[in-house]
Structure 1
Amino acid sequence: MSSELKISVGQHSDKGRKEINQDFHGICIPAETQLRSKGIAIALADGISSSDVSQIASASAVKAFLEDYYCTSEAWSVKTSAQRVLTATNSWLHSQTQRSEHRYEKDKGYVCTLSALVIKSTTAHIFHVGDSRIYRLRGKKLEQLTHDHRIYISGEQSYLGRALGINPQVEIDYQSDQIEKGDIFLLATDGVYEHVDAAAIIEAIESDPDHLDEVTRRIVAAAYENGSADNLTLQIVRIDELPNAEVGEIHQQFAKLPLPPLLDARAVFDGYRIVREVHGSSRSHIYLAVDIETDATVILKTPSIDLGGNPDYLERFLMEEWVARRINSAHVLKPCSLTRQRNFLYVVTEYIEGQTLTQWMIDNPRPDLEAVRDIVEQIAKGLRAFHRLEMLHQDLRPENIMIDATGTVKIIDFGSTRVTGVIESAPAADRGDILGTVQFTAPEYFLGDNGTSRSDLFSLGVIAYQMLCGKLPYGAEVARARTKAAQKKLRYRPVLDDDREIPVWVDGALRKAVHPDPYKRYAELSEFIFDLRHPNVDLMDRSRPPLIEQHPEAFWKGVSLVLAIIIVLIGLHSAVR
């Protein structure tokens, strides 16, 4: 496989027998960096003939898609990025109609169909609304990939059931398919596909595969000669080379940089003066340093020399900085700006003067409930910043949470973060490994699932629980429960304590947040945070959990004692008789 996606393109549009061309089409092949992170975008729109302004709609829709798609976050999936853009475009087109004299005549407003194709890595992502079409030619078979949103009243009459700009909201069809080298995609308006059959299209492409522009002209001309009375637009895209799905953007970065040596205090390294080592482990070395150029105190993190030959580890190491540069939150560790060329592989972040949540819990073994709420709320704000960008932290634990001198809580260490947009670029890198610390890892990860935002919520719930009582809600049993049957047997240990004034409904909120079944947890972080402060009637259906749940060992000892007494009494009664 090539390291880069390569395609050949042919496209042609003609007004045909109409006075103006209400079709619009385009393609964007970005530079290498965006080519890998966002892919190639192709779009085609068809205006409706009943409208005098639909050519504006089709041109606006295609231009907006090809421009705005590349302005969305690299962390977002193709689906999220494209649907956000198309939803915004639909709202704009609909608002234009509402401002015009055709606000009560939808078929005369700013309306068009749209079919779009995004080719990223080894996957084709298809977005469609209306009756323009996308086909795939593989071998000798021409397959229609989209479904026409046209409703037929009779053989002669029909109307569009769905299109951009008709309504305030729009439903976009989406599908994704793995592609192969040599695949050919065709995007066509009804003026073309209704008047040229599959055999003629295949023959035209096979007769001149190196001149696809000329092929599109010949097919469009054939549709015209066959009586097409509509505008005619056709795009042909052939996959010439596919990228190596195992090599991502991050991998390409670290391949060019050498590993740094172990650093000593007072050493000068790449423009930084090392003050001291803050933490060292088998996975990384963390140093307090001063930027000689700016005199700013920073944290410098270097990878383990022993793991220098492990590409998965190095990619996760560099992912920390990649993630940090895309998140803007007061509750997420901030990377330092790059002001000079880097000569080694390392990460530089802000210095947080404070303590980890682990140390805070040691210093505060019986914290006030309000203090716990405050910390949990700040962590949740940081997590929301991840989730908005389709990122999962996946290693949320007290050691990865810092509290500075002002009481501000910050999430650190993003080496385990799962980024949807990056996984799409290098799907082979998504191996489903458990990267987090097992005590705080959601149960679904042990079943091989990729996890969702509810998985990070589980970790947050465990942290809140541990802050209140110093224990874990299921002890060490979660990591041992590797089947759904085993997870159903997990028993939550209430945080309620006779010596602590913890409301029952707070325990109920924690119980729901750390439920073994992700679909029985809170759907949103905000719901959990709200229930920690406000009594939820659904969580107060009993004043206190039964003894078997509070103290199972004591319960069964009591049962055994009662049974023993009964047996002794029966024996005495038999002896008397």
Structure 2
Amino acid sequence: MAAGRLSLSYGQAFVAPDRRRHRSSMSVSMPSGQQMSTKGACALISDSASRNALAAQAGDLCVRGFLADYYSTPEHWDVKDSVYRVMRALNAWCHGQTRQLPEGSYVSSMSALVLAGRDAHLFHVGDTMVFRLRGAEFEQLSRDHVTDLGGYRYPARALGMDAGVDIDYIQPGLKQGDIFLLTTQGVRGTLMPSDYVGLIRQNASDLNAACERLAQAARERAGERGYGSDSFCFQLVRVDELPDAELDTPSRVYGDLPIPPELTPGERLDGLEVVEVLSRTTHSRVYRVRDIRTNRDCVLKAPSPELSNRNVYLEHFLLQQWVVERVRSPFVVRVIEPSRPRRYLYYLMRHVGGITLSDWMARHPQASLAQRLDLALQLGKALQALHHRDLLHQQIHPDNVLIDEHGQVVLVDFSACHLRDVDGHRRSRLLAQQVGLNEHSAPEYALDDEVGRRSDQYALASTAYWILTNELPYAVPSHKLRSHTDLEQLNYRSARTRNPEVSRELDEALRRALDPQRSLRFRRLSEFLYSLHPNRQSSGESSTPRVWRDPANVWQIIAGGLLVLLIISWWVR
């Protein structure tokens, strides 16, 4: 690598009796160009916490998923923020998959060492181990998260083990000549610190050979002590050269790329010709553009020109692109890569030929109950795709939803979309308030209460209610509440009184999802979506006999039966 920049060398060795059932995975990534300056190099190692058929998948998925997502994070995010977000999203995915498996799990320990500029960053969860050799000093940097039970050591903390994850983070310092060793818990008890130092120093010029020597020595020592060399991993990373101090500060993307000026139809920007102005707001500009090179129509979104000095919003603007790139769903609009380098700050999305949900409802006043429910259900699936990525949308609204010529719903706006926070979602709530609340926003946004996935559930249910009835569920708009005492004014207006085709079960599901108290709504979004399936509605009635649908009828029948039994008991006397 060129002088004055971070230069690294690395080596690896892997030992497993059966490569098809190995539990560990490791990788080193050293990107080139700007990414090396902003994101740095990554060395990772993971070790599954189980010995089932999914063990290999769990380790490999954690490593590959981390690298793919970390290097896709916005370049203006610092290392710590990027890794925390990626590891928490990865943990949420692994935990969700594990809960659905009857056997096995995606639980995995992982250590991620990021070397960026003149700094080292270590992120660790579980029982994988990271050491640093500096001169003659050999030190373990990671802390084992294990519990001793009956003489066996089990991970007390790992990815996928729980819905939340506590990640150890340290900055161990970086000097030229430092050598980092990443290995797995299975090596513990085989080699002494002096063995590591001696074997690494003997092969300092060839790190692959040093790793092979470590693996061979560990395997021999394990055999002598009577236990198998199950999945030994050794990975060495050496710092050959540090960058110059003046090159240590990465450039910030939103400082390098200017915000586009105000555009009108016919004007061009980076080979994109403006066809139509779709939206002008205080925060952003949205244009339909045509790529001159490919003749492809797409949608360009850029920050509003008057926001050029508001870096906080610009950081979130770049997050929007990252959000859309991470979500894979036919119900969520897809990001498009430009055909030539960008000279301005914007991103491109697929052009969806269609109309907004508001316009569709105005054009189809006679739409059937099944058609309306299908639209609400598709919108729910779009929201589910975001929640699976640990994202809150916070702006579910008919004007943010397009219906294409095939009747498919596509969610197109992410102005208030935000990763779930660990501070009661305060930042998420403030962002939603800054972008602007609407009549479908949950009450907690107006009252500065804690928000979460059930807040999105409320907005979806409110929109579904509007699709079914063309009205709102409460006479008082929830986004205009001023105090908690105002919640008493929110009296649910039955959807059945406005659309007789709505069944009692569906009306009850809407009432629950729209409860002013967040804790009383459905625990999972999937429970609410189940009630929206059109095949569960049959001309506004359910398969339950009519006499059993009214609670009053039920109690009358029970009371009548008890009366008959009482009379019979008197008669037999």
Q: Same fold (TM over 0.5)?
A: yes
Cα deviation digits, residues 409-464 of structure 1 (max 9, x gap): 211112222246xx89xx99878532554232234445656743332221111111
Q: 1:116 aligns with which of 79, 96, 110?
A: 110
Does the C-alpha gap of structure 1 residues 171 and 177 become closer, same or farther in structure 2, counting only changes over 3 Å? Answer: closer
Q: Which residue of 2 aligns with 1:455?
A: 455
1:491 maps to amino acid: L
Q: Is the 8 A contact 1:395 1:416 kept in 2?
A: yes
Q: 1:43 aligns with which of 19, 31, 45?
A: 45
Q: 2:146 aligns with which of 125, 145, 148?
A: 148
- Structure 1 residue runs of 5 or longer lacking an equivalent are 16-21, 96-112, 153-157, 164-168, 205-210, 242-247, 545-577
Inter-partner Cα distance in structure 2 for 1:510 and 1:277: 36
Q: Is the 8 A contact 2:455 2:518 kept in 1?
A: yes
Does the C-alpha gap of structure 1 residues 35 and 46 become closer, same or farther in structure 2, counting only changes over 3 Å? Answer: farther
1:480 maps to amino acid: L
Answer yes or no: is 1:179 the counterpart of 2:170: yes
The two structures have a TM-score, normalised by structure 2, of 0.62
Q: Which residue of 1 aligns with 2:471?
A: 470
2:167 alignment partner, SS class: strand
Cα deviation digits, residues 80-118 of structure 1 (max 9, x gap): 5368679999x9xx99xxxxxxxxxxxxxxxxx975213
Q: Is the 8 A contact 2:109 2:126 kept in 1?
A: yes
Inter-partner Cα distance in structure 1 for 2:368 and 2:552: 22
1:42 maps to amino acid: L
Answer yes or no: is 1:342 the counterpart of 2:342: yes
Q: Which residue of 2 aligns with 1:521?
A: 521
Tell me the C-alpha RMSD between the 2 structures: 6.0
Q: Which residue of 1 aligns with 2:126?
A: 128
Q: Which residue of 2 aligns with 1:70?
A: 67
**Residue 348 of structure 1: how far off its partner (Å):** 3.1
2:260 alignment partner, SS class: coil
**Residue 238 of structure 1: how far off its partner (Å):** 11
Q: Which residue of 1 aligns with 2:280?
A: 280
**Residue 530 of structure 1: how far off its partner (Å):** 2.3
Inter-partner Cα distance in structure 1 for 2:328 and 2:14: 47
Q: Is the 8 A contact 2:447 2:481 kept in 1?
A: no
Q: Is the 8 A contact 1:23 1:59 kept in 2?
A: yes
**Residue 394 of structure 1: how far off its partner (Å):** 1.8
Matches within 5 A, 1:65-104: 66-67=63-64, 69-71=66-68, 77-81=86-90
1:462 maps to amino acid: S
**Residue 400 of structure 1: how far off its partner (Å):** 0.6
Inter-partner Cα distance in structure 1 for 2:54 and 2:331: 42
1:321 alignment partner, SS class: helix
Inter-partner Cα distance in structure 2 for 1:510 and 1:23: 46
Does the C-alpha gap of structure 1 residues 473 and 343 become closer, same or farther in structure 2, counting only changes over 3 Å? Answer: same
**Residue 510 of structure 1: how far off its partner (Å):** 0.9
Inter-partner Cα distance in structure 2 for 1:64 and 1:498: 51
Does the C-alpha gap of structure 1 residues 409 and 114 become closer, same or farther in structure 2, counting only changes over 3 Å? Answer: closer
Q: Is the 8 A contact 1:182 1:238 kept in 2?
A: no
Q: Is the 8 A contact 2:301 2:348 kept in 1?
A: yes
Inter-partner Cα distance in structure 1 for 2:316 and 2:385: 19
Q: Is the 8 A contact 1:443 1:481 kept in 2?
A: no
2:67 maps to amino acid: Y
Does the C-alpha gap of structure 1 residues 119 and 306 become closer, same or farther in structure 2, counting only changes over 3 Å? Answer: same
1:70 maps to amino acid: L
1:127 maps to amino acid: V
Q: Is the 8 A contact 1:192 1:233 kept in 2?
A: no
Q: Is the 8 A contact 2:95 2:161 kept in 1?
A: no
Q: Which residue of 1 aligns with 2:441?
A: 441
Q: Which residue of 1 aligns with 2:294?
A: 294
Q: Which residue of 1 aligns with 2:381?
A: 381
Q: Which residue of 2 aligns with 1:407?
A: 407
Inter-partner Cα distance in structure 1 for 2:126 and 2:13: 19
- Which sits farther off after the overlay, 359-368 or 380-389? 359-368
Aligned residues with identical type, % of pairs? 22
Cα deviation digits, residues 27-85 of structure 1 (max 9, x gap): 5244374997798443276999xx9xx9x999998667544543468587314536867
The two structures have a TM-score, normalised by structure 1, of 0.61
Q: Which residue of 1 aligns with 2:352?
A: 352
- Structure 2 residue runs of 5 or longer lacking an equivalent are 16-21, 74-84, 134-138, 175-179, 199-204, 243-248, 537-541, 554-573
- Which sits farther off after the overlay, 438-447 or 405-414? 438-447
2:309 alignment partner, SS class: coil
Inter-partner Cα distance in structure 1 for 2:23 and 2:372: 59
Q: Is the 8 A contact 2:46 2:111 kept in 1?
A: no
Q: Is the 8 A contact 1:189 1:234 kept in 2?
A: no
Inter-partner Cα distance in structure 2 for 1:470 and 1:292: 44
Cα deviation digits, residues 240-279 of structure 1 (max 9, x gap): 99xxxxxx99x94332222222223333333233334333
Q: Which residue of 1 aligns with 2:177?
A: none
**Residue 376 of structure 1: how far off its partner (Å):** 0.4
1:370 maps to amino acid: A
**Residue 24 of structure 1: how far off its partner (Å):** 7.8
Q: Is the 8 A contact 2:147 2:153 kept in 1?
A: yes
Does the C-alpha gap of structure 1 residues 419 and 35 become closer, same or farther in structure 2, counting only changes over 3 Å? Answer: farther
- Which sits farther off after the overlay, 359-368 or 311-320? 359-368
Q: Is the 8 A contact 2:265 2:277 kept in 1?
A: yes
Q: Is the 8 A contact 2:49 2:108 kept in 1?
A: no
1:315 maps to amino acid: E
Query: Larger Rg: 1 or 2?
Result: 1
1:263 maps to amino acid: L
Does the C-alpha gap of structure 1 residues 540 and 34 become closer, same or farther in structure 2, counting only changes over 3 Å? Answer: farther
Aligned length: 480
Does the C-alpha gap of structure 1 residues 395 and 126 become closer, same or farther in structure 2, counting only changes over 3 Å? Answer: same
Inter-partner Cα distance in structure 1 for 2:411 and 2:238: 45
The one of the two structures with greater contact order (alpha-carbon pairs below 8 A, sep at least 6) is: 1
Inter-partner Cα distance in structure 2 for 1:390 and 1:81: 9
